[in-house]
Amino acid sequence: MLNLILATALTSAGAACPQQVVDRLDDLYRWHLAAQADQHRGDLTLQKQTFTPELYDQLDRAWDLDPRVDGAFLDFVVFSGTQVTTFGADVIGCHKLYPAANGFFPDVIAASVAVQTGLRGRASERPQQLSYRLIRSDNGWVISDLVYNHQNGTSSSLSGLLRLILLTASNSRN
């Protein structure tokens, strides 16, 4: 049986995340790991309150795409940025990107997450480095985007990848 334990490790007091952010991300990975253990992608509607409405809409439309019908699909694990098994995730710190301004703009936080992935029951030595963008809303902290920090020094965002996948699917149907 795979070790599916989630832990939260904060690098320093200055990098500490609000408890609601840690709880939100821990709950997301708990759901993801349970679905993975059952060998399916998971019922995304159970995570609707986890995301901003805009990101959820994009993700929901891409979630069930079939490449044979739609010409495109999510060909990677959204919560690791890989095509392999997720073993766990550690929230390693947060920093404010944009503080709330005069009540017109919400707080925005970047939460750094190290995701252990691998093949055949063995985690790789180096975790995937992800950066979640969260916005404070009426539903607490919600995910507005996810940045995949690739080991080759490049990065990509979930919203950008979803736009490309949905555009490809749309063009395929025309």
Summarize pLDDT for 86-115 with one digit per residue, the tens: 999 999 999 988 766 556 667 899 999 999
Separation of alpha carbons 143 and 146, rounded Å: 8
pLDDT of amino acid 10 = 30
| pLDDT band per the 50, 70, 90 thresholds, residue 120 | confident
Domain edges within the chain: 10-173
Tell me: pLDDT of 30 over 70. Answer: yes
pLDDT in tens, 33-69: 999 998 888 899 999 999 999 999 999 999 999 999 9
78 and 47 Cβ atoms separated by less than 8 Å = no
- Residue whose C-alpha is closest to residue 148's, from 135, 163, 161: 161
Residues constituting the chain? 174
Separation of alpha carbons 102 and 67, rounded Å: 46
Asked which of 65-79, 94-108, 148-162 is least confident by mean pLDDT, the reply is 94-108
Residue-by-residue DSSP string for 61-113 = HHHT--HHHHS----SBTTTTBSSEEEEEEEEEEEEEE--BTTTB--EEEEEE
Contacts of 122 (CB under 8 A, 6+ apart): none
Separation of alpha carbons 88 and 137, rounded Å: 27
Tell me: pLDDT of 78 over 80. Answer: yes
- The answer regarding whether domain 10-173 maps to CATH 1.20.58.100 reads no
